[in-house]
Amino acid sequence: MPDITNTFCGIKSPNPFWLASAPPTDKKYNVVRAFEAGWGGVVWKTLGEDGPPIVNVNGPRYGAIYGADRRLLGLNNIELITDRDLHLNLREIKEVKRDWPDRAMIVSIMVPCEEEAWEAILPLVEETEADGIELNFGCPHGMSERGMGSAVGQVPEYIEMVTRWCKAHTRMPVIVKLTPNITDIRYPARAAKVGGADAVSLINTVSSITSVDLDTFSPEPSIDGKGSHGGFCGPAVKPIALNMVAEIARDAETAGLPISGIGGITTWRDAAEFMALGAGNVQVCTAAMTYGFKIVQEMIAGLEGWMAAKGHASLDDIVGRATPNVTDWQYLNLNYVTKARIDQDACIKCGRCHIACEDTSHQAITNMVDGKRHFEVIDAECVGCNLCVNVCPVEGCIEMVQLPAGDVDERTGKTVQDDYANWTEHPNNPSVVAAE
């Protein structure tokens, strides 16, 4: 059996699956049940300053988008950080860590952007014997208007400054949680590293409005006829998160900085993809909120099964394996030529590939041949774009097949070459022409 134990910036856990800071981790009752179900670690729901508890809305705080089968694809929330008493949380964190010493216990913190505020809370957290802290620089709503959360995460100089304060006032590892609500994720990651962060985690939620009620014209979730932007997460944000993880993993300035991958992870496969792109472990929120804590058992079994089948002995064998394969567009091989192929036995003749290709691509799929409904690719028109594969409702029915070197591409009339050639050396590239 492969070894899936995880060490993330010195913090050990029996598997790489942590629950992200959110409602699943906001009290002892939840966290104990999560650990019983098998989660390797948790990031406790974000703690704020000592004082009057945070006030949440008393109406709906979630909105969602669904697939056609009503499977939840994206979740929006307008919840704030913990609304429980700081000392009650700290007491519970200490109790859970004592009872579950082999699990990772990280405490998420968000206090005002003043050194005294961080200096005051860090010893209290350290006293719980938690394994590390996560700085919540990501929350896009409610707290950001008070100068915290993403209001800090959107300014690299603030990230660097607060990270430095934390490193100065605690010996616990510091994980900086990044907001995706920024143009280039590399800048906040670099700032975290310069400030001394032991790791970054990402993504927090994406600023969003889920929907509008067309009877009342209120954005949803609606609180007495009004809505506010919230934070979007769940499967729909996974592609955004994967790209941001990869951007940090392959940036020379942040090379080697541990990354905890977060955003839409629902299956072991999602987790393996994040790790392949450079995440040392993963965090999960929406999947646990949708399907319950026991979903981790499928994640563990699936990851172990895949690793065993592929001969990966430990997580070190997969972390970062895909990072070198992420490149910039200009380095993609222009001699890689593909054509779509339709499996006539699998085809149900729905016509979606034809319409997609006919109306919006390259008029490369028939719909009638000899007076019969028949869907077949016309190689002389097919540019290999893959749209038909994406719209076909039958999995595996359309495949993209690479033309071997020596074949003639009927569309261009050119013989397929077996060498690698990219845009940087293409004769149509103005900079190549200029250099000649």
Ligand X SMILES: Cc1cc2nc3c(=O)[nH]c(=O)nc-3n(C[C@H](O)[C@H](O)[C@H](O)COP(=O)(O)O)c2cc1C
Q: What is the DSSP letter of 178?
A: P
Question: Whole-number minimum distance, CB 388 to ligand SF4, in Å?
Answer: 3
Q: What does 77 interact with, of ligand X, ligand SF4, none (CB < 5 to 8 A by kind)?
A: ligand X
Task: Mark the segment that binds ligand SF4 (CB under 6 A) among 7-15, 115-123, 222-230, 346-354.
Answer: 346-354
Task: Mark the segment that binds ligand SF4 (CB under 6 A) among 102-110, 144-152, 289-297, 351-359.
Answer: 351-359
φ, ψ of residue 99 to 5 degrees: the values are: -80, -20
Please, which of residues 396-425 interact with ligand SF4 by CB under 6 A? 397-398
- Give the residue, chosen from 383, 395, 415, 421, that forms a contact with ligand SF4 under the rule CB under 6 A: 383
* CB neighbour list of residue 126: distance below 8 Å, 6 or more residues apart: 170, 171, 172
Ranges of H-type helices in 75-179: 86-99, 115-126, 150-153, 156-169
Question: Whole-number minimum distance, CB 413 to ligand SF4, in Å?
Answer: 17
Task: Mark the segment that binds ligand SF4 (CB under 6 A) among 45-53, 101-109, 317-325, 377-385.
Answer: 377-385
337 binds ligand SF4 (CB under 6 A): no
Q: What is the DSSP string of 104-146?
A: EEEEEE---SSHHHHHHHHHHHHTTT-SEEEEE----SSSGGG
Neighbours of 6 (CB within 10 A): 23
Q: Determine the number of helices (DSSP H) and then strands (DSSP E) in the chain.
A: 13, 22
355 binds ligand SF4 (CB under 6 A): no
Q: In the structure encoding, which two tokens stand for residue 30, read together?
A: 């939840």
Residues 250/276, Cβ–Cβ less than 8 Å: no
108 binds ligand SF4 (CB under 6 A): no
Q: Active site residue: 9, 113, 139, 347, which one? A: 139
Residue with Cβ nearer ligand X (6 or 82): 82
139 is catalytic: yes
Q: What does 394 interact with, of ligand X, ligand SF4, none (CB < 5 to 8 A by kind)?
A: ligand SF4
Residues 107/133, Cβ–Cβ less than 8 Å: yes
Task: Mark the segment that binds ligand SF4 (CB under 6 A) among 93-101, 158-166, 230-238, 393-401.
Answer: 393-401
Q: Give the whole-angstrom CA distance, residue 256 versus residue 10.
A: 14
Q: In the structure encoding, which two tokens stand for residue 136, read together?
A: 């919540």
Residue ranges binding ligand SF4 (CB under 6 A): 340, 342, 347-353, 356-357, 361-362, 364-365, 375, 377, 382-388, 392, 394, 397-398
